[in-house]
Chains A and B, each alone.
Chain A
Amino acid sequence: MFNYDKYIRKDKFPHIWCSGCGNGIILKSSIRAIDKIGWDKNDVMTISGIGCSSRATGYLDFDSLHTLHGRALAFATGIKMAKPKMNVVVFTGDGDAGAIGGNHLIHAARRNIDITAVIFNNNIYGMTGGQYSPTTPQEFVATTAPYGHIENSFNFMELAIGAGASFAARTTVTNPKQVENFIHKGLENKGFSVIEVVSNCHVQFGRRNEMKSPIQMFDWIKERIIPMSKAEDMSEDELENKVITGVFKNIEKPEYVEEYDKNIMAKAEGE
């Protein structure tokens, strides 16, 4: 019932993602969110780094930049500074945003620059063959963790909020309507918005962890979901390895480009 045609580059379809990969679900939900907010297509810019998830920009019919691994937010910051009226949306992976691009993530959050970042968190480096990422859970197997992973995971919500983002929400591909709603809320926020969407890479992650089909991975994601309202009454032990979903932060605070114009440009031009 939703017509995606207006927003996609039809000649690039069918897309390259594996059968059942959640990336397509996030792409579609993002399109519905952008449609809902009603922005003119020419006022939207989509920017991505490198990874399976970052291919999203290539399928969307907006002005777009498919940049360097980890650097989507650096490019996005430049675009937003040069063209403040542009609505800038970043598509990035857990590796792209949390590993090589982690620094850009925390500083975009610190500045509270008006950019919406959608993190496709599939707990792995999908594109390069299943190396562990900053969100691979402990004890799970990756090509670079053949005996099971021992590192602690990043919590994108705590990271974004701690660094200063004014909007942070987590959802999963098992609930496409919620993905759409949270991205829509993030787009509405004037400031830095992070929407983490927990997704499935059954090919590079699931396959090595006894979940080789998308349905098995969806079941695994679903059984770990705890809505935020419920999580409030649970202990830290009970919440271990769970996926808490909800809007973690949604506040108003000064936005970087507006502050820059007010405090720096105004003074520089006044001199």
Chain B
Amino acid sequence: MAKGKKYIIKIKEDYCKSCRLCYSRCPTNAITANPKNMKVQINDEDKCIGCLVCENICPDFAIEIFEAEDN
């Protein structure tokens, strides 16, 4: 992974079913749980390394990762 690459985390909140699979696996805590409903929310987008662990594990098509254009 090239150093300094930036990523955008896109969440479809209405698709998220609070299963916890994504944020329990995120290696950098870029994403976390919304304590109100346990849906996914962004913790710190700058921490995202674009590993796609969250995107591939989400059974609900609710989280997507994009490379930031200004990379």
Q: Flag if B56 contacts A176 (CB, 8 Å).
A: yes
Interface centre among B15, B52, B56, B59 (most CB of A within 10 A): B59
Contact of B61 among A4, A18, A23, A176 (CB under 8 A): A4
Contact of B59 among A23, A177, A213, A215 (CB under 8 A): A23
Q: Flag if B64 contacts A1 (CB, 8 Å).
A: yes
A17 to B59, CA, bound (A): 9
Residues of chain A in range 159-202 having any CB-CB distance to chain B below 8 Å: 176-177
Assuming the A-B contacts A1-B52, A1-B55, A215-B24, are A19 and B18 also in contact, with contact meaning beta carbons closer than 8 angstroms in the complex? yes
Q: Flag if B20 contacts A24 (CB, 8 Å).
A: no
Report whether over half of chain B's contact residues are helix, strand or loop; otherwise say mixed.
loop
Q: Flag if B15 contacts A24 (CB, 8 Å).
A: no
Q: Does A13 contact B (CB under 8 A)?
A: yes
A53 CB, nearest partner CB in chain B, Å: 12
Q: Does A147 contact B (CB under 8 A)?
A: no
Chain B: residues with Cβ within 8 Å of the partner, total of 22
Q: A19-B18, A23-B59 are in contact. List 17 more A-B contacts (CB 8 A).
A: A1-B50, A1-B52, A1-B55, A13-B61, A14-B62, A20-B19, A20-B20, A24-B59, A24-B60, A25-B56, A25-B57, A25-B58, A25-B59, A28-B58, A28-B59, A214-B19, A215-B24
Residues of chain A in range 23-42 having any CB-CB distance to chain B below 8 Å: 23-25, 27-29
Contact of A214 among B14, B21, B55, B62 (CB under 8 A): B21
Q: Flag if B59 contacts A14 (CB, 8 Å).
A: no
Q: Flag if B17 contacts A14 (CB, 8 Å).
A: yes
